[in-house]
Structure 1
Amino acid sequence: MSDAVSFGVAPDPDSDESESEEFDFDKHAALAKDAYEQVYSLYDEFSSVIESIISTCLANSEISIHSITSRPKSIDGFQRKAGKASSENPNSPRYGKPLQEITDLAGVRVITYFLSVVQDVEAVIQEQFEVLERIDKSEAFEKDRRLGYQSLHFLVRLKSNRCALPEYARFSGLSAEIQVRTILQHTWAEIEHDIQYKAVYALPSQIRRRFMALAGVLEIADREFQAIAKQDRRLREAALKSVADDQLTGVEITPDALKAYLDKEFGPDGRMSDYSYSWTVGLLKDLGFIDLDELDEFLSEYNDGEVSRALHGARQGQLTRLEDVLMVAAGNEYKLRHPWHRPDNEWFDEMVDRRLEKAEGKGYEVGVKRLPDRGRNASAS
């Protein structure tokens, strides 16, 4: 028996030896641990390699995800798993050859925002690796009557052409587990882990119903987030097309739409950040603007470059020029509705007053346009 255990092999359950002696699970697990310690660093490297391949491919394909992490199975975790008894024969280990049969020694987890991206990640995995097994956990949980929420697990190996390269040769024959799930699926998995994978039938019926209802709610939420993302993308594309076609009526002012409009009317400016466009959208809404056609009408009589040079002596950036025109056209009303108009912000009021005075000195008639009768401090202005 000792020889069998030393090689990580369980005894034959039909042999006389297995009937006369109890299997030494502790010794079996300890020997498996010793063997795993010898290759732990290899699986650590292997995990990082799998993560790197997936990350690079996702980035090249412009597939956005929430996160990707990797890890080798901990030595203590491996020892505990190696010491588990078989469900069919409690005097026999579940894993007679732990190093060969425990397949998650290298693990990678990919968490996405949306369900559709799970499919995109799967396509990358199928293309880049030899997929030994694909498991849909939702189907497995239904079969085993356990609490659970869907996610995809893959058992993979590096393809032979990659293993032929010197930097990957040492990983030939090794397998890794890749988990792919949405961020809501991940939340469920963490909760599920905390309740220790209890079987459905082991829970009180009231608790079981609540868990099943929660799983349904999360699945609906995942689908709704996906639908929202799809609608948002469709609206963005429609808005950009409307701007390109000079059809501004009803086009809501959003960061994307504003950038497209200003790029067309004021000229592109690569120095502007996404945050700057978002902040400017907030300013425009404080000033009462909702649609691009309102803004376009308000700006139509001004040359942004000339106004900018009059106030600063040189042509400024795209968004500064927009604010300059708004300031000259609306005059004091611009100051009163601006989010920086506060009792503790005297410097802002003084700056606007100086610039308006300068604009008048350059021949501009300031404050000749009325801002829309909505937005911040609309009645006060």
Structure 2
Amino acid sequence: MRRVKSVSQHVASYERHRPTYEAFSLKLKELLNSILDANKLKVHSIESRAKTIESFQEKVTRSGKVYNNPLSELHDLCGCRIITYYADEVGKVADILKAEFSVIEEELGHQVSELDVDRFGYLSVHYVIKVGGNRVGLPEWRAFESMCAEVQIRTIIQHAWSAISHFIQYKQETAVPSHIQRRLYRIAGLFELADEEFLGIRDQKAALKASAAKAIAEGRKGIPLSSSSISEAIKAWSERDAALSAAVDAGFQLLKDQEDIDSNSDNYVGYIYSLATRLNINTVDDLLLIVNKVDLSLLETVFSINKDKVNWMVSENFIFYMLLIAAAGDAVDVEYLSKNGISAEIAKLILRGLRMKPRSRRRGTKAGSE
């Protein structure tokens, strides 16, 4: 007759094996990051964990369930949570999981379409996966060949709802007083609406960017200034290559990491727009005309007076912004720049460099000539 293990034996067994589950979760997180990067899908974060000893013990002692071998019967001893920015990315991540792993279970119950109209449960997609395909034969994955992991996919908004509802400890809706239920229903609806609105705003922004890119490509540069039109105008800027070359020759280093470039560029587009508005520049054409009048040699002057010879890491949008600052002349000062994307120390250097060169000189001309 087979002897049934006690709870304490199960717990002791898990405690011995937990370091392997922890290692699996960390390695799985690293792999998920690599796979999503390869698919050019940027997510907010990936979390990983192995179930704590206390949580394991609580689960195996719940009433109504008896485990003969919880280490093989429980599939959530190791897990990852992928948090996306937008709702439609949840499905994209799910498709990638299905293509890259062996899916043991798929739980789709925590979705809007599966909830009754009078329910406020958290939203998420759950999968139980194993390492599969050619990857399972690799030496670094051999130790995890038989192990499962739970992967949850949800948006930031869904994650916020889950975290808050968990904190206030209303896991079961039947335990919630009716007057509080109503308030929770209202909040849940707002969270769902927020997910939909962020998705709509993202798509609308992309449409505006595409429209601006088309107009500029067709030579219609009289379009109004906006973050989208400025961004596309700089990409198609006739002096772009010359300005970047002059910046590198002067000593500036251009950002190469795409994530840093995107973050830096997005910020400086806003500063460019603010300064253009300050100068009463209203169209892309007018913006390019005034920047194109600035002598690129000022980049060398600004860098040369940097006493410490620090290699500035900059984006093309920063270079464009600096040229616009040169065109602005006395319309900007250190105080303005320190509030608009440039530190006071760097602002002083830039303005000092501009005073050493005649402003608004055309390229290849002498001061005072056209």
TM-score (norm 2): 0.75
Which stretches in structure 1 are left out of the alignment for 5+ residues? 7-27, 87-92, 366-381
Choose which of 292, 296, 299 in structure 2 pairs with 1:308. 296
Q: State the distance in 2 between where 1:51 and 1:66 align.
A: 13
1:22-171 counterparts in 2 under 5 A?
Answer: 28-86=6-64, 93-138=65-110, 142=115, 147-171=120-144
Q: State the distance in 2 between where 1:239 and 1:206 align.
A: 50
**Aligned AA (2:30):** S
Choose which of 254, 258, 263 in structure 2 pairs with 1:271. 254
Q: State the distance in 2 between where 1:160 and 1:172 align.
A: 11
Q: State the distance in 2 between where 1:353 and 1:164 align.
A: 66
Q: State the distance in 1 between where 2:99 and 2:133 align.
A: 13
**Relative to 1, partners in 2 of residues 1:30 and 1:147: Cα closer, same or farther, differing over 3 Å?**
farther
Query: 3-state DSSP class of the match of 1:138?
Result: coil
- Which residue of structure 2 lines up, in the alignment, with residue 362 of structure 1? 367
Q: How many matched pairs? A: 329
1:289 maps to 2:308? no
**Relative to 1, partners in 2 of residues 1:289 and 1:29: Cα closer, same or farther, differing over 3 Å?**
farther
Between 1:56-65 and 1:237-246, the stretch displaced more is 237-246
**Relative to 1, partners in 2 of residues 1:358 and 1:267: Cα closer, same or farther, differing over 3 Å?**
closer
After TM superposition, give the deviation of residue 226 of structure 1 in Å.
Answer: 0.5
Could you tell me whether the CA contact under 8 Å between 1:69 and 1:109 is conserved in 2? yes
Percent sequence identity over aligned pairs: 27
**Relative to 1, partners in 2 of residues 1:355 and 1:179: Cα closer, same or farther, differing over 3 Å?**
same
Could you tell me whether the CA contact under 8 Å between 2:29 and 2:48 is conserved in 1? yes
Query: 3-state DSSP class of the match of 2:4?
Result: helix
Which stretches in structure 2 are left out of the alignment for 5+ residues? 245-252, 256-263, 305-313
After TM superposition, give the deviation of residue 250 of structure 1 in Å.
Answer: 2.2
**Relative to 1, partners in 2 of residues 1:111 and 1:194: Cα closer, same or farther, differing over 3 Å?**
same
Q: State the distance in 2 between where 1:80 and 1:279 align.
A: 54
**Relative to 1, partners in 2 of residues 1:250 and 1:100: Cα closer, same or farther, differing over 3 Å?**
same
**Aligned AA (2:154):** R
Choose which of 264, 272, 281 in structure 2 pairs with 1:280. 272
**Relative to 1, partners in 2 of residues 1:233 and 1:349: Cα closer, same or farther, differing over 3 Å?**
closer
**Aligned AA (1:97):** N
**Relative to 1, partners in 2 of residues 1:310 and 1:45: Cα closer, same or farther, differing over 3 Å?**
closer
**Relative to 1, partners in 2 of residues 1:61 and 1:228: Cα closer, same or farther, differing over 3 Å?**
same
Q: State the distance in 2 between where 1:63 and 1:341 align.
A: 34
TM-score (norm 1): 0.73
Could you tell me whether the CA contact under 8 Å between 2:234 and 2:240 is conserved in 1? no
